[in-house]
């Protein structure tokens, strides 16, 4: 089913914004239940050390302290180690990690004890009274150090530091390379980065000592997953865990996992008998929230002289942290799984190797593995074009997937019009006059260039059974309930989480569209596992609008049918002869014969007599569980105009255009917001962000003075051009849009820089591009 | 993190402030550097003396000297017509000091006393031979800018001294200034920045000041480069020699943003740019 016109597709302002912009939102730190304590965690100053002695006596005696726990204490109060929900390397070793370190600390910032006190300052005072003796051990922070034959082992029962291997393969790779006209090789490196939200992660946990219930407020993207994992770890039945979600100040994937500090807060509440709040401060968020992106990728590509890519092989090294995050190796596997991107490459063989290092766990960050995969396949296209003397866009076109559905090495692409999207982007560049601008700049001696990247994105992450078969211990369906109350107003219940992206507005638009009611008659409710419908996985993987939206659409469509049946009874007409407009049901073509949704609501709940048909159940409520048969592939093209100061290596972005297709758009303004936010993070990843470590393993980036996020001053104006190719297997035709903006930005920026520096022959194979590195490349090029 | 416990005293007079400093307090002015350090527990004073309400504010021209009260907010100095007219290099440098919200609270004296080696104002005051007035238990003394900055975050101020004002000799009316700053993002702390003031007579440099921030443990004057410039017309050859001499004056360190060698190289690039801006070429 596809939809056109109406509230779906309307650029309506977000219902969330009034509260957010007037300071009426309630974030995790605004929650102060009576008697609440605040927790602080003692963190290792060493990248790798044995804990020889840990004495908390003085801390426990400090005035204002209610509870102190060590890693061993927490281990004794949980049923199992921290769960890994995605196993991609069956039989491979798994890290055994408890919420706090027990015998060894494995990275700078690794928590080893925690205090709950009357306030955070007192808790931090008490941390200083904990007496720890460490025996420092040699640390490994780079891939090469970790893989060295004599490397110190992080996990002493492992044979080495390899955390798992997986393979992504399709077709006959040997034959492809044996028959290739040309083979190109390259190595790519991506720095460690993370999804830094404006609001840090937090939890307010209340353990009821009489009923053994855990009531936890968590600013999480995955309330149902968190409830399941709390239950597993704490040895509770699921009904004894309630997870509630306040307003969230940004998620970006880093708020989707199940963190040890959430368990620590629950344990501290259990030990102290009081509610306990743990909120990362900004400083510790650099070590307490998952890192991402860091990979080394070696690839070889086989091609024919006409630019047809016939084979791709290589290795994706995931430079993981010391322990697995909730999702383990999966972000790195995803890089390999979608390394062919929008291109029909028939033969593929990619090894995925996860390697542990003395750094914080590696987890989800907007884009998951896709930005790296995109950087590789777009570099390959450009390199091949250069090598063969072809136009890179011709190489793109020659290799685009054109027949759908298309079986890529892992995913089935449902639909797409890639060549049209490329044209849309190039037209936008033409209209913007970039070529003239570049010519003028070059005539004046400046170095300006244009870069492109084409991406596709696996969105609407599902279906449940297939993701289970891929090793995921969680589902991908979405449950929704839609109600009309006795005043005719609509409430949508969803398991999806509102974290600033506008999902409540989007789902309200879907329901309003399906029911033909005014948008402001719809309220969306979410955020409490005691009452919210179930969502598999959570608000992640670009699935909320597509999968959650389809669930709401189906439920609302059924509810509409019930409304029409009741109205048909009133009018003694056929439902087929009725229409709903603006919340009023009327007989088509018969002015004056109408009944409001309020009247139908009243009959459904309070005064059924004479209105509700005898065979119709009271209430107006429909529930839907929607599990798509496939993912939905969105796609887009990014073009960047950049200039480079060849004396300093500084890059300035002057223009940024995106052509994008996420199927049926529910609200183009929200889609644009998603694309712009993602693009800003792509800019950060391409030019600024790097979690750096020195040779001994010490973390060099501990604040936003060292870890540079893109500021308003470095983000250029965006121009966005939409096209819509509906997902024909998803009700409404929706595809995901949440991660699109971040995927192609890095490659497009790199290509713009390469174009600007064409005279120096600079090639960008690692991110971020920093001025000192780029200057060195320019100088090397000038000497050649 | 939350600051370790400290007592808070609001100084009502300079004497009260100095008395508190003599008993081990640290001075809080605009708080833009101190408060983050307190929160990180990098500084753990027993007492913080809030000097922000002392009447040490304002900008005035006193004959051939610009006098800035130490507690003048950065934004007030930046937007002062007196500063813009009398010492335009200072006015322009102020636009690079943090973001507007930081400049609204931060003070001129605070920036000087904090003595971040990459900060703009210490380098500008060094370029212009400013004189700092300090008040301690024994009275008032003056310290020349060249004697003031001792190392990263270290100055000639004794722990019991409060910076009260900054006196900047006005450059001659014919002086022209140039400023070139390299930072990763607009209004970040500089990776390296160069500040110049040049006086020309018939296209020949008669007086030159070149100061560099972010390329040594303190802001530095490139005296050898200045000497090369005096008596010369600014030809490309002279400019290249001066730029190299400025780079030779640096003593940079590696950090997460740039290696030392890059900062040294950028000193040469930025010196050329700042001098070109100064002479309008």
Nearest CA in chain B to A710: B185
Q: Tell me, letter by letter, the H, E, C secondary structure of chain B.
A: CCCCCCEEEECCCHHHHHHHHHCCCEEECCCCCHHHHHHCCCCCCCEEEECCCCCCCCEEEECCEEEEECCCEHHHHHCCHHHHHHCHHHHHHHCCCCCHHHHHHCEHHHHHHHCCCCCHHHHHHHHCCCEEEEEECCEEEEEEHHHHEEECCEECCCCCCEEEEEEEECCCCCEEEEEEEECCCCCCCCCEEEEEEEEEECCEEEEEEEEEECCCCCCEECHHHHHHHCCCECCHHHHHHHHHHHHHCCCCCCCCCCCHHHHHHHHHHHHHHHHHHHHCC
Flag if A688 and B185 touch (Cβ within 8 Å): yes
B32: distance to nearest CA of chain A, Å? 13
Flag if A648 and B266 touch (Cβ within 8 Å): yes
B262: which chain A residues are within 8 Å (Cβ-Cβ)? 771-772, 775
Give the pLDDT confidence score for residue A695 in this predicted structure: 86
Token digits for A203? 């939890």
Evaluate whether A307 touches A395 at the Cβ level (below 8 Å). Answer: yes
Please report, rounded to a whole number, the percentage of residues in chain B having pLDDT higher than 90.
99
A648: which chain B residues are within 8 Å (Cβ-Cβ)? 182, 266, 269
Give the pLDDT confidence score for residue A4 in this predicted structure: 53
Three-state DSSP class for A728?
Answer: coil
Token digits for A425? 């982007």
Asked if the model's pLDDT at residue A631 lies above 80, the reply is yes
Q: What's the average model confidence in pLDDT over A333-360?
A: 98
Flag if B182 and A713 touch (Cβ within 8 Å): no
pLDDT, tens digit, 9 for 90 and up, residues B136-152: 999 999 999 999 999 99
CA A498 to chain centre: 13
A771: which chain B residues are within 8 Å (Cβ-Cβ)? 182, 184, 191, 258, 262
DSSP one-letter string for A698-715? -B---STTTS-PPPGGGP
pLDDT, tens digit, 9 for 90 and up, residues B30-40: 999 999 999 99
Evaluate whether B215 touches B192 at the Cβ level (below 8 Å). Answer: yes
A587 forms beta bridges with: A578
Give the pLDDT confidence score for residue A720 in this predicted structure: 98
CA A112 to chain centre: 28
B256: distance to nearest CA of chain A, Å? 7
- Residue B89's nearest CA partner among B167, B166, B144, B171 is B171
Domain boundaries, chain A: 17-23+477-626
**Domain B59-169 architecture:** 2-Layer Sandwich (3.30)
pLDDT, tens digit, 9 for 90 and up, residues B196-247: 999 999 999 999 999 999 999 999 999 999 999 999 999 999 999 999 999 9
Three-state DSSP class for A117?
Answer: strand
Give the pLDDT confidence score for residue A2 in this predicted structure: 44
- Residue B268's nearest CA partner among B223, B203, B222, B233 is B222
B261: distance to nearest CA of chain A, Å? 9
Structure confidence at residue A250 as a pLDDT band (50, 70, 90): very high
B254: distance to nearest CA of chain A, Å? 11
* H or E element in which residue A522 lies: strand A522-525
Token digits for A24? 């009426």
Evaluate whether A389 touches A330 at the Cβ level (below 8 Å). Answer: no
CA A746 to chain centre: 17
Flag if B1 and A701 touch (Cβ within 8 Å): no
A714: distance to nearest CA of chain B, Å? 7
CA gap A355, A328 in Å, rounded? 11
Say which of B182, B184, B187 has its CB closest to residue A688.
B184
Q: What's the average model confidence in pLDDT over A355-360?
A: 98
**CATH class for the region spanning B175-279:** alpha beta
Sign of CA dihedral A44, A49, A51, A55: negative
pLDDT, tens digit, 9 for 90 and up, residues B233-265: 999 999 999 999 999 999 999 999 999 999 999
Give the pLDDT confidence score for residue B280 in this predicted structure: 85
Sheet holding A594-596, edge to edge: A578-581, A584-587, A594-596
Domain boundaries, chain B: 7-50, 59-169, 175-279
Flag if B185 and A714 touch (Cβ within 8 Å): yes
State the complex-level ipTM: 0.96
Give the pLDDT confidence score for residue A1 in this predicted structure: 43
Flag if A711 and B3 touch (Cβ within 8 Å): no
Question: Any chain B CB within 8 A of the CB of A714?
Answer: yes
Residues 153 to 182 of B: which have CB under 8 A from any A CB?
182
B188: which chain A residues are within 8 Å (Cβ-Cβ)? 708
CA gap B70, B110 in Å, rounded? 7
Three-state DSSP class for A357?
Answer: coil
Produce one character per residue of A649-662: b if its CB has 16 or more CB atoms within 10 Å, e if not.
Answer: bbbebbbbbbbbbb
- List the single best residue of A123, A647, A687, A706 to mutate versus B (max B Cβ within 10 A): A647
DSSP one-letter string for A659-687? EEE-BS-S-HHHHHHHHHHHHHHHHIIII
Please report, rounded to a whole number, the percentage of residues in chain A having pLDDT higher than 70.
99
A426: distance to nearest CA of chain B, Å? 29
Q: What's the average model confidence in pLDDT over A692-700?
A: 91
Say which of A120, A647, A713 has its CB closest to residue B2.
A120
In this structure, which topology does domain A17-23+477-626 adopt according to CATH? Answer: Aldehyde Oxidoreductase; domain 4 (3.30.365)
Evaluate whether A266 touches A234 at the Cβ level (below 8 Å). Answer: yes
Asked if the model's pLDDT at residue B124 lies above 80, the reply is yes
B2: distance to nearest CA of chain A, Å? 5
Instruction: Please work out, in degrees rounded to the nearest 5, the angle formed at the alpha carbon of residue A60 by the alpha carbons of A58 and A66.
Output: 155
Evaluate whether A363 touches A194 at the Cβ level (below 8 Å). Answer: no
pLDDT, tens digit, 9 for 90 and up, residues A253-309: 999 999 999 999 999 999 999 999 999 999 999 999 999 999 999 999 999 999 999
Residues 659 to 678 of A: which have CB under 8 A from any B CB?
none
Flag if B257 and A281 touch (Cβ within 8 Å): no
B269: which chain A residues are within 8 Å (Cβ-Cβ)? 647-648
B184: which chain A residues are within 8 Å (Cβ-Cβ)? 688, 708, 771
Three-state DSSP class for A697?
Answer: coil
B67: distance to nearest CA of chain A, Å? 32
**CATH class for the region spanning B7-50:** alpha beta
pLDDT, tens digit, 9 for 90 and up, residues B76-93: 999 999 999 999 999 999
CA gap A768, A747 in Å, rounded? 11
B258: which chain A residues are within 8 Å (Cβ-Cβ)? 770-772
Flag if B262 and A283 touch (Cβ within 8 Å): no
**Contacts for B36-40: CB closer than 8 Å, 24+ residues apart:** B38/B3, B38/B4, B38/B6, B39/B1, B39/B2, B39/B3, B40/A283, B40/B1
pLDDT, tens digit, 9 for 90 and up, residues A546-593: 999 999 999 999 999 999 999 999 999 999 999 999 999 999 998 889
Q: Where are the alpha helices (DSSP H) in A548-653?
A: 549-571, 597-605
Sign of CA dihedral B237, B238, B243, B246: positive
Question: Any chain B CB within 8 A of the CB of A692?
Answer: yes
Tell me how many residue pairs between chain A and chain B have CB atoms under 8 A apart: 53
- Residue A463's nearest CA partner among A404, A414, A396, A510 is A414
Say which of A283, A648, A700 has its CB closest to residue B40.
A283
- Neighbouring C-beta atoms of residue B202, cutoff 10 Å: 6
B186: distance to nearest CA of chain A, Å? 6
Flag if B269 and A692 touch (Cβ within 8 Å): no
Flag if B182 and A650 touch (Cβ within 8 Å): yes
- Residue B211's nearest CA partner among B241, B177, B166 is B177
Nearest CA in chain B to A684: B185
* Backbone dihedral angles phi then psi of residue A356, each to the nearest 5 degrees: -85, 145
Residues 71 to 130 of A: which have CB under 8 A from any B CB?
119-121, 124-125
CA gap A374, A36 in Å, rounded? 46
CA gap A741, A660 in Å, rounded? 9
A770: which chain B residues are within 8 Å (Cβ-Cβ)? 257-258
Give the pLDDT confidence score for residue B281 in this predicted structure: 56
With a CB cutoff of 8 Å and minimum separation 6, the contacts of A59 are A65, A68, A113, A115, A126, A127, A129, A130
* H or E element in which residue A207 lies: strand A202-208
Flag if B256 and A711 touch (Cβ within 8 Å): no
Nearest CA in chain B to A120: B2
B40: which chain A residues are within 8 Å (Cβ-Cβ)? 283
Polymer length of chain A: 784
Give the pLDDT confidence score for residue A91 in this predicted structure: 80
Give the pLDDT confidence score for residue A381 in this predicted structure: 98
Three-state DSSP class for A476?
Answer: coil
CA gap A44, A110 in Å, rounded? 5
Question: Any chain A CB within 8 A of the CB of B276?
Answer: no
Say which of B4, B189, B266 has its CB closest to residue A125.
B4
Structure confidence at residue A536 as a pLDDT band (50, 70, 90): confident
Three-state DSSP class for A392?
Answer: helix
Flag if A688 and B189 touch (Cβ within 8 Å): no
Give the pLDDT confidence score for residue A3 in this predicted structure: 54
B188: distance to nearest CA of chain A, Å? 8
Is the peptide bond preceding residue A768 cis, with omega within 30 degrees of 0?
Answer: yes
Say which of B3, B186, B269 has its CB closest to residue A648.
B269
Evaluate whether A201 touches A280 at the Cβ level (below 8 Å). Answer: yes
B276: which chain A residues are within 8 Å (Cβ-Cβ)? none
A759: distance to nearest CA of chain B, Å? 21
The tokens 């929650």 sit on which residue? A31
* Backbone dihedral angles phi then psi of residue A771, each to the nearest 5 degrees: -55, -45
A700: distance to nearest CA of chain B, Å? 7
- List the single best residue of B2, B33, B35 to mutate versus A (max A Cβ within 10 A): B2
Asked if the model's pLDDT at residue A235 lies above 90, the reply is yes
């Amino acid at each position: 089913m596809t939809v056109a016109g109406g509230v779906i597709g309307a650029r309506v302002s977000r219902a969330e914004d009034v509260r957010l912009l007037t300071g009426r939102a309630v974030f995790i730190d605004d929650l102060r239940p009576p008697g609440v304590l605040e927790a602080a965690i003692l963190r290792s100053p060493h990248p790798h050390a044995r804990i020889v002695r840990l004495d908390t006596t003085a801390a426990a005696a400090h005035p204002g302290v209610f509870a102190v726990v060590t890693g061993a204490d927490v281990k004794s109060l949980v049923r199992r180690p921290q769960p890994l929900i995605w196993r991609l390397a069956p039989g491979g070793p798994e890290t055994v990690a408890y919420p706090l370190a027990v015998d060894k600390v494995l990275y700078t910032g690794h928590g080893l004890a925690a205090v709950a006190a009357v306030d955070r300052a007192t808790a931090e005072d008490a941390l200083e009274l904990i007496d720890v003796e460490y025996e420092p051990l040699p640390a490994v922070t780079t891939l090469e150090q970790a893989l060295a034959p004599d490397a110190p082992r992080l996990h002493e029962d492992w044979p080495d530091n390899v955390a798992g291997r997986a393979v992504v393969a399709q077709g006959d790779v040997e034959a492809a390379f044996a028959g290739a006209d040309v083979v190109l090789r390259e190595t790519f490196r991506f720095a460690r980065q993370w999804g830094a939200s404006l609001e840090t992660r937090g939890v307010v946990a209340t353990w009821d000592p009489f009923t053994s219930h855990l009531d936890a407020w968590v600013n999480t993207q995955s309330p149902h997953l968190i409830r399941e994992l709390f239950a597993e770890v704490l040895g509770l039945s699921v009904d004894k865990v309630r997870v509630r979600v306040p307003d969230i100040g940004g998620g970006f994937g880093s708020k989707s996992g199940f963190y040890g500090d959430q368990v620590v807060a629950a344990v501290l509440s259990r030990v102290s008998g009081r509610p306990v709040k743990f909120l990362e401060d900004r400083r510790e968020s650099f070590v307490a929230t998952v890192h991402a992106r860091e990979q080394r990728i070696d690839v070889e590509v086989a091609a024919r002289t006409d630019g047809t890519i016939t084979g791709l092989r290589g290795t994706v090294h995931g430079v993981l942290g010391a322990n697995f995050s909730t999702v383990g190796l999966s972000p790195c596997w995803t890089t390999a799984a979608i390394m062919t991107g929008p291109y029909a490459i028939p033969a593929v063989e990619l090894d995925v190797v996860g390697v542990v290092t003395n750094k914080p766990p590696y987890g989800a960050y907007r884009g998951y593995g896709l930005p790296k995969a995109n950087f590789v396949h777009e570099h390959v296209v450009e390199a091949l074009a250069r090598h063969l003397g072809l136009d890179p866009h011709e190489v793109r076109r020659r290799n685009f997937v054109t027949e759908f559905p298309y079986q890529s090495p892992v995913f089935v692409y449902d639909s797409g019009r890639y060549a049209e999207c490329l044209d849309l982007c190039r037209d936008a560049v033409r209209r913007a006059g970039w070529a003239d601008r570049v010519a003028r700049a070059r005539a004046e001696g400046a170095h300006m260039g244009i870069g492109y990247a084409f991406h596709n994105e696996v969105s609407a992450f599902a279906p449940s059974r297939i993701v289970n078969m891929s090793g995921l211990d969680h589902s991908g369906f979405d449950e929704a309930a839609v109600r009309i109350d006795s005043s005719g107003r609509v409430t949508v219940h969803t398991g999806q989480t509102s974290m600033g992206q506008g999902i409540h507005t989007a789902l309200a638009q879907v329901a309003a569209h399906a029911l033909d009611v005014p948008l402001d008659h719809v309220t969306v409710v979410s955020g409490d596992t005691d009452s919210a419908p179930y969502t598999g996985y959570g608000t992640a993987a670009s699935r909320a609008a597509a999968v959650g939206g389809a669930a709401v659409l189906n439920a609302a469509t059924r509810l509409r049918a019930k409304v029409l049946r009741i109205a048909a009874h009133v009018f003694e007409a056929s439902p087929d002869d009725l229409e709903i407009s603006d919340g009023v049901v009327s007989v088509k073509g018969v002015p004056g014969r109408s009944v409001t949704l309020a009247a139908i609501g009243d009959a459904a709940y309070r005064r059924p007599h004479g209105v509700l048909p005898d065979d119709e159940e009271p209430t107006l409520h429909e529930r839907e569980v929607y599990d798509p048969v496939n993912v939905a592939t969105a796609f887009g093209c990014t073009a960047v105009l950049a200039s480079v100061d060849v004396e300093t290596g500084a890059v300035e972005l002057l223009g940024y255009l995106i052509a994008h297709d996420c199927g049926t758009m529910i609200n183009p303004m929200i889609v644009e917001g998603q694309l712009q936010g993602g693009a800003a993070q792509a800019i950060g990843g391409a030019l600024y962000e790097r979690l750096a470590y020195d040779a001994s393993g010490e973390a060099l980036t501990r604040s936003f003075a060292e870890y540079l996020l893109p500021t308003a001053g470095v983000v250029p104006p965006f121009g966005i051009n939409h096209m819509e190719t509906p997902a024909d297997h998803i009700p409404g035709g929706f595809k995901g849009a949440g991660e699109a903006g971040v995927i192609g930005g890095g490659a497009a920026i790199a290509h713009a820089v390469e174009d600007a520096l064409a005279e120096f022959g600079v090639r960008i194979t690692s991110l971020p591009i920093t001025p000192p590195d780029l200057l060195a490349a320019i100088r090397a090029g000038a000497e050649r | 993190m939350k600051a370790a416990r400290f007592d808070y005293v609001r100084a009502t007079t300079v004497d009260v402030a100095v008395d508190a400093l003599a008993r081990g307090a640290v001075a809080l002015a605009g708080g833009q550097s101190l408060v983050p350090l307190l929160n990180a527990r990098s500084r753990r004073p027993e007492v913080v003396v809030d000097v922000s309400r002392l009447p040490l504010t304002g900008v005035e021209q006193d004959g051939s000297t610009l006098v800035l009260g130490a507690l003048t907010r950065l934004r007030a100095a930046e937007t002062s017509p007196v500063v813009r007219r009398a010492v335009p290099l200072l006015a322009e440098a102020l636009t690079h000091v943090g973001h507007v919200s930081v400049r609204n609270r931060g003070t001129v004296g605070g920036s000087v006393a904090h003595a971040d080696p990459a900060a703009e104002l210490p380098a500008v005051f060094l370029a212009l031979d400013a004189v700092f007035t300090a008040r301690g238990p024994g009275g008032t003394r003056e310290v020349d800018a060249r004697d003031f900055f001792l190392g990263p975050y270290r100055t000639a101020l004794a722990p019991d001294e409060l910076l009260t004002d900054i006196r900047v000799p006005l450059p001659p009316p014919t002086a022209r200034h140039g400023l070139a700053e390299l930072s990763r993002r607009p209004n970040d702390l500089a990776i390296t920045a160069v500040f110049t003031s040049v006086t020309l007579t018939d296209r020949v440099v008669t007086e030159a000041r070149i100061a560099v921030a972010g390329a040594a443990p303190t802001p530095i004057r490139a005296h050898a480069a200045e000497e090369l410039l005096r008596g010369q017309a600014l030809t490309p050859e002279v400019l290249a020699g001066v730029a190299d001499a400025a780079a030779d004056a640096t003593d940079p360190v590696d950090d997460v943003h740039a290696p030392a060698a890059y900062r040294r190289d950028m000193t040469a690039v930025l010196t050329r740019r700042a001098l070109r801006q100064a002479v309008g070429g």
